[in-house]
Amino acid sequence: DTGVSQNPRHKITKRGQNVTFRCDPISEHNRLYWYRQTLGQGPEFLTYFQNEAQLEKSRLLSDRFSAERPKGSFSTLEIQRTEQGDSAMYLCASSAQALYGYTFGSGTRLTVV
Amino acid sequence: SQQGEEDPQALSIQEGENATMNCSYKTSINNLQWYRQNSGRGLVHLILIRSNEREKHSGRLRVTLDTSKKSSSLLITASRAADTASYFCATDSTGGGNKLTFGTGTQLKVEL
């Protein structure tokens, strides 16, 4: 499988717990993006990496959110002290260049109860 | 924040008919892209049109771009039931840091 892989597919957690999601991009892609999508809305940008450098973070990304991309390969998105408002689909995408489209993973659906 | 707004929000047509979706955006762009999303899944890239292009075709898809009106349209010809999905436009804004900003989407339902 040469697509973008996200794990887990689903995560149910209790409010206040920490969760971590993983994204494995297409290996030739140096750009990696995280988006969040709630029901009936389009994806909202969270953060963007070029290789291992985190180049941009959205104001949506509160201090409870942190993302890493060690060695410029896979990436992790951690949410600390989860809140019910964090319930959403978290999408990862990668691309080779700015003028190419993104390849998205299938997403991680987070439910905070 | 959402950059674009798609119109209509929902569209229901019969198989074989054409479907047209419109997208309006607010800022100057490098390019505009259209994506499809089947329920509960990730998005699939359909087509990219650069700011200096006015029309582009890919199979049954035709995209137009009018930068003076800050709008784009996606036409799907001879629709099929398998085209049922949500369609999003996304803009790569000038000075936007090479990230895409997505619109709110059009839900297309193609009935047999």
User: Strand, helix or coil at A86?
Assistant: helix
Which residues are bridge partners to A89 per DSSP?
Answer: A37, A109
Nearest CA in chain A to B43: A104
The alpha carbon of residue B44 is apart from the nearest alpha carbon of chain A, in Å, by 7
Q: How far is residue B92's CA from residue A99's CA, in Å, rounded to a whole number?
A: 9
Grade residue A59 by pLDDT with cuts at 50, 70 and 90: confident
CB atoms within 10 A of CB A61: 18
* Single-letter residue type at A101: G
pLDDT grade for B71, boundaries at 50, 70 and 90: very high
Q: Which chain B residue is nearest to residue A40, measuring alpha carbons?
A: B104
Inter-chain CB proximity A106 and B30 less than 8 Å: no
**Closest-CA distance of chain B to residue A18, Å:** 23
B38 token code pair: 């089947």
The residue of chain B nearest to residue A60, with distances taken between CA atoms, is B1
pLDDT in tens, A63-113: 999 999 998 899 999 999 999 999 999 999 999 876 778 999 999 999 999
